[in-house]
Amino acid sequence: IEATVIASRLRISQNREKDLQKIESLLKIAEKCGNVRDCEAKVLVERLVFQNFEGDKQRKKF
């Protein structure tokens, strides 16, 4: 549940450095993968990170 909350907060946050810190702590939680929700949250966050940061890389190319 904590992982899901962090993931949803990341969506609104514009502060990349804080996002990275949250992602690191989130992945530590999710690595344990004690329950299905944490595993789902890990996948969500990885997708979210990929979308956000890949978008940044793409913009820099132009």
pLDDT in tens, 36-58: 666 677 677 777 776 655 555 55
Q: Between 11 and 17, where is the model more confident?
A: 17
Mean of pLDDT over the chain: 65
What's the number of domains the chain is made of? 1
Residue 41's domain comprises 2-61
User: Stretch 11-40: mean pLDDT, rounded?
Assistant: 67
Centre a 10 Å sphere on the Cβ of residue 48 and count the other Cβ atoms it contains: 16
For residues 22 and 9, is the Cβ–Cβ distance under 8 A? yes
Q: Would you say the pTM of this structure is higher than 0.85?
A: no
Dig out the tokens for 45 from the structure: 């966050």
